[in-house]
Amino acid sequence: MTTTTAPEATTAPETAEPDVVAPPAPPAAPQPEPRPSGRRRAGAALAPVAASAQAALAAARRHAGPVLGVVSPLGWSVLVLTAGAWVAGLVLHWEEWALVAVTATVALLAAVVFVLGRLRYEVTLDVASRRVVVGDRAVGRLLVRNGSSRPMLPAVMELQVGQGMASFPVPRLRPDAEHEEIFAVPTHRRAVIPLGPVRSVRADPLGLLRRELQWTEPEELFVHPRTTPLSGSSTGLLHDLEGRVTPDISDSDVSFHALRDYVPGDDRRHIHWKSTARTGQLMVRQFEETRRSRLAVILSTRSDDYADPDEFELAVSVCGSLGLQAIREDGGLAVMVQAGRVRGDHRTRLLDDLTRLELSPARTSLTEVARAASVSATDASVVAVLVGSTVTPTDLRAAAVRLPVDARLVALRCAPGSSVSRGRVADMQVLTLGELADLPHALRRIHD
């Protein structure tokens, strides 16, 4: 057996290769910046010029505005006519047009004389009362005094009253002289009437130039809705000063309910000693829980809920009457409308907010307002819903099921000219009112 042995392999000695250092890369050549196009260069060059032109134009408008504002539309027409007449008279040699140009120029110069001069009036606008009730007299006084050391030419004072304008002529006033005007503002309907500003007007007899200066700031006159007084016993709603008795049982209150056996932990002040001595066991008093009267009023402002604006005015007056009675008795009050909540913490703020209410074609239905009221007025003991004659019993039923379960529900349908009537829809009593004077009588019928 022959064995063949392979010769050992010999490895060649490793030779160290020299380190190769790469030469540094040459710096990148700078890329040339893109040159702006001709349009961009022109825009950049014209930007400062445009900004300067806009600033100059704004300054010119600021300084020329008061001057140009003096010219009336008729005055602009006469100016154009005068310029055309001068051209026709001087260039075309038309004597008739030259005469027209001279006449119009004299009229314009005379108008300038009427409006020139510095006015130093001291104007005072005073109203006897800024809050009145529908039908009451709202009397104001306008006092104009010449506060300069020279006589003032006659002028006209214009006072904006609501959508109208009242004019008061002011005669020539000597230094420190005064002129007084007394005026009355109509208050036939509930409204917030803007008064002012007071402006002085000086114009020429032809009406070419008209110069106005404002002397006072606008003010507001509140014409509150009519309300009727409600006594605590006649409302039938807020008649308990201590609170309204509920079926809930309490261990401490003012309305006695029954006696029960003593349980460790009960207040010993409520132990009924006479019953304890008679039965031989400790007996304690049990009470019915009473709650403080809190009124929630839902006043619909949707135009679809009323047949005419008079129904809405009656509903606002009823809301104000109920709210004032709740505030007078120091009870809680919450007034809800489609737009949100009306302030009910003070009689003036309540009437001011009611004065601002207007009918609107709101998409928010009576049911949605009732749902919001049930969330925000959970502690209400009485809920009054004020609507017009177009609201159906179905709408009232849908609103009633969304109001607090433990609250007394009353709906007041306002229909001017109707007789007082009473009905019921689900758990809600429905009263129909024909006028505001029927409200106390209608509320007394709740307990009949």
Asked if 214 and 377 count as a contact pair (C-beta separation under 8 A), the reply is no
Domain boundaries, the chain: 65-116, 121-223, 244-291, 294-447
Q: How far apart are CA 344 and CA 72, in angstroms?
A: 49
- Backbone φ/ψ region at 102: left (φ over 0), alpha (ψ -120 to 50), beta: alpha
3-class secondary structure for 364-399? CCHHHHHHHHHHHCCCCCEEEEEEECCCCHHHHHHH
Please report the pLDDT score of residue 292 as a whole number. 55
Q: What is the token pair recorded at 109?
A: 């110069």
Mean pLDDT per 10-residue segment, the chain (448 residues): 38 40 50 54 62 66 63 90 91 89 92 83 93 93 92 90 91 93 93 93 88 91 94 48 45 57 81 84 74 82 94 96 89 89 92 95 89 86 93 93 88 93 90 93 75
Distance CA 418, CA 338 (A): 26
Q: Write down the H helix ranges in 91-238.
A: 95-115, 232-235
3-state secondary structure of 302: strand
Structure tokens at 78: 């006469």
CB 249 within 8 A of CB 257: yes
**Do 89 and 101 contact (CB within 8 A), yes or no?**
yes
Superfamily of domain 121-223: Immunoglobulins (2.60.40.10)
Dihedral pair phi/psi, residue 341, rounded to 5°: -115, 140
Give how far Cα 336 sits from Cα of 170, 317, 384, Å: 48, 15, 10
Report residue 380 CA to chain centroid gap: 26
Neighbours of 140 (CB within 10 A): 21
Q: What pLDDT, on a 0 to 100 scale, did the predictor assign at position 433?
A: 94
What is the model's pTM?
A: 0.70
One-letter identity of residue 45? A
Encode 212-241 in three state secondary structure: EEECCCCEEEEEECCCCCCCHHHHCCCCCC
3-class DSSP state for residue 342?
strand
Q: How far apart are CA 420 and CA 78, in angstroms?
A: 67
Q: Architecture of 294-447 per CATH?
A: 3-Layer(aba) Sandwich (3.40)
Of the candidates 280, 308, 328, 330, which has an alpha carbon nearest to the alpha carbon of residue 390?
308
Structure tokens at 183: 């005026």
CA gap 86, 63 in Å, rounded: 28
